[in-house]
Amino acid sequence: MHSFTEENYLKTIYHLSQFTASPVQTNAIADGMKTRPASVTDMLKKLSDKQLIDYIKYQGVTLTEKGKTTAVGIVRKHRLWEVFLVEKLKFKWDEVHDIAEELEHINSALLVERLDEFLGFPKRDPHGDLIPDQNGFFEPVQNIHLHEMSCGNKGVIIGVSEYSSAFLKHLERLGLTIGIIIEIKEIADYDGSVELLVDGRKINVSREVTQHILINYK
Amino acid sequence: MHSFTEENYLKTIYHLSQFTASPVQTNAIADGMKTRPASVTDMLKKLSDKQLIDYIKYQGVTLTEKGKTTAVGIVRKHRLWEVFLVEKLKFKWDEVHDIAEELEHINSALLVERLDEFLGFPKRDPHGDLIPDQNGFFEPVQNIHLHEMSCGNKGVIIGVSEYSSAFLKHLERLGLTIGIIIEIKEIADYDGSVELLVDGRKINVSREVTQHILINYK
DNA sequence: AAAAAATTTTAGATTTGTCTAAACATACAA
DNA sequence: TTGTATGTTTAGACAAATCTAAAATTTTTT
Ligand SMILES: [Mn+2]
Ligand SMILES: [Mn+2]
Ligand SMILES: [Mn+2]
Ligand SMILES: [Mn+2]
């Protein structure tokens, strides 16, 4: 089996490779893992030996099929546990991430499948992130970040791309939670802040906020 | 916080000190932890530095109040998770121990209390072991091992003191599960095996088995 | 009470994951 | 195309947890 550390590296590499097609760089991984580039290099050698990543010195890394499968499995566990915490134990959506960071490493295939069943095979976690199925497949959907939309566009909030408690509590205070319908009324030239129409009310949010809200776009 | 390893040592010392009033010995801990006496000595120094145990060279160890509180907290989590696995996820009683060994290290006080509530504040785990409350208190009860009883005695199976899958499956095949009423019909001089009356049927069990069944004795 | 046996501790290595500082490689700019 | 900045790797050290082999202590037996 893999150590917690190895699993966390794989997950970090997986998430970083979502944004670009090109190989993931050492410094980016160091940032994501809150460690030093030299430590990353050490671990990359180890993961490469285990055939979990393709690694060429100075050129960055990509996950192998084996590595990707492992990473997606961890993501699946993380998101299922988050659903459990919110749906069954009444945690708030801003309280579950850190606990799920621990629970995602619990090692039992049977446990994951029983948990999935117990939760009613949920499709998304409390932050709107898709939960891969047992085979690692994601339901295809097209999301767009709020800041990529134009004046007059409408949509439904389907998720977030930032999980800090501070951010999630802020959204809640604004009434911007998953499932809410929004319409863009105005985008300020000055600072990129956006005026939204939400449930008949007008709300102003900073560009910062719009960059972390995902909209279901059809 | 404490490492998984430190927590496992504390739990092992706690369980070993249940049997005797005298300090727990290095070799016993090594057995329990499936490690070497030399490794135990190293860890005892560390736990002593952290004031989790009282340790005198060559004289064995006892848990301090701080150490006992920590150990009981881990036991509480272990048993609550076992209840969760059996009651909510439909695991069998012989399948849950290893998973609970991992889950018991998840670090969130809120999680434990929410889980307890979700499970309806259970008093015992699937093996009949008492679950300490939030303050580490156990409901007082008097158990006795089946092999300590005499001919003609009656009682209710209230728990086990051995958790291997092989043993638990064996009990299930014999119909000897928690809540079952038994009466001792005969104890063989030759090998200490016991004939039990269970639900009108006569059942023969080895001394080995009788040493690991707990009976509610009033 | 001395010898033998059992138990425990120390000494010295090893593995995993981390770090800093210095060397090396690549990208990009003058 | 040479120099500089950025990014990455190596070298060497360190802490945690483990191990084997040898030394030290305690307990048991004679
Ligand atoms: Mn999360
Ligand atoms: Mn999430
Ligand atoms: Mn157990
Ligand atoms: Mn149990």
Give the Cβ contact number of residue B168 at 10 Å.
22
- Please give the pLDDT value at position A142: 82
Would the pLDDT of A29 be above 70? yes
Task: Report chain B's mean pLDDT, rounded to a whole number.
Answer: 94
Average confidence (pLDDT) over B72-82: 98
Chain A 118-137, residues with CB within 8 Å of chain B CB atoms: 118
Give the predicted TM-score (pTM) of the model: 0.91
Would an 8 Å CB–CB cutoff place A92 in contact with chain B? no
Within-domain flag for A179: yes
What is the CATH classification number for the domain harbouring A203?
A: 2.30.30.90
Within-domain flag for A30: yes
| C-alpha dihedral sign at B94, B96, B102, B108 | negative
| Cβ(B105)–Cβ(B116) below 8 Å | no
What is the CATH classification number for the domain harbouring B24?
A: 1.10.10.10
Distance, Å, B151 CA → C19 C1': 67
The whole-angstrom separation of Cα B117 and Cα B14 is: 26
Within-domain flag for A205: yes
Considering every ligand atom, which ligand is closest to the CA of B98? 3
Q: What is the DSSP letter of A24?
A: B
Q: What are phi and psi of A204, to 5 degrees?
A: -110, 130
Average confidence (pLDDT) over A143-172: 92
CA distance B86 to chain A (A): 11
CA A151 to chain centre: 27
Write out pLDDT tens, residues B113-153.
999 999 999 999 999 999 999 999 998 888 899 999 999 99
Average confidence (pLDDT) over A179-203: 92
Write out pLDDT tens, residues B25-35.
999 999 999 99
- Please give the pLDDT value at position A37: 94
Distance, Å, B43 CA → D19 C1': 14
CA distances from A72 to A5, A79, A98, A160 (A): 16, 11, 18, 19
CA distances from A145 to A124, A140, A157 (A): 17, 16, 10
Would the pLDDT of A140 be above 90? no
- Please give the pLDDT value at position B218: 60
Within-domain flag for A10: yes
The whole-angstrom separation of Cα B175 and Cα B198 is: 8
* Closest residue to D21 (CA, C1′): B38
- Residue range(s) defining the domain that contains residue A156: 144-217
The whole-angstrom separation of Cα B122 and Cα B108 is: 19
Whether CB of A42 is under 7 Å from strand C: the answer is yes
Q: What is the DSSP letter of B25?
A: P
CA distances from B126 to B82, B132, B151, B185 (A): 7, 14, 28, 27
The two tokens of residue B218 are 């009033």
Would the pLDDT of B186 be above 80? yes
| C-alpha dihedral sign at A116, A122, A128, A131 | positive
B108:A99 CB<8 A: yes
Alpha carbons within 13 A on the beta-carbon side of A45 = 5
Which H or E run includes B11?
helix B4-16
A102:B106 CB<8 A: yes
Within-domain flag for A8: yes
Instruction: Spell out the alpha helix ranges (H) of B54-123.
Output: 65-83, 97-103, 109-118
Within-domain flag for A161: yes
Quote the ligand 4 centre to B87 CA distance (angstroms): 13
Would an 8 Å CB–CB cutoff place B188 in contact with chain A? no
Domain-ending residue, one of A21, A37, A63: A63
Average confidence (pLDDT) over A191-210: 92
Give the Cβ contact number of residue A103 at 10 Å.
23
Domain-ending residue, one of A46, A63, A80: A63
Within-domain flag for B111: no
The whole-angstrom separation of Cα A149 and Cα A217 is: 9
Write out pLDDT tens, residues A110-119.
999 999 999 9
Task: Report chain A's mean pLDDT, rounded to a whole number.
Answer: 94
The whole-angstrom separation of Cα B153 and Cα A83 is: 50
CA distance B158 to chain A (A): 27
Residue of B nearest to A106 (CA): B102
Domain-ending residue, one of B16, B41, B63: B63
CA A30 to chain centre: 18
Q: Structural domain tally of chain B?
A: 2
Distance, Å, A58 CA → C29 C1': 21
Write out pLDDT tens, residues B187-202.
998 988 999 999 999 9
Neighbours of ion ligand 3 (CB under 5 A): B 97
Quote the ligand 3 centre to A127 CA distance (angstroms): 33
Question: Helix, strand, coil shares of chain A as percentages rounded to 5?
Answer: 40, 20, 40
The two tokens of residue A30 are 């160091």
Quote the ligand 3 centre to B213 CA distance (angstroms): 15
Within-domain flag for A92: no
Q: Report residue A218's pLDDT band, with 50, 70 and 90 as the boundaries.
A: low
Would the pLDDT of B63 be above 90? yes
- Please give the pLDDT value at position B46: 94
Would the pLDDT of B8 be above 80? yes
Would an 8 Å CB–CB cutoff place B4 in contact with chain A? no
Q: Report residue B22's pLDDT band, with 50, 70 and 90 as the boundaries.
A: confident
The whole-angstrom separation of Cα A146 and Cα B23 is: 64
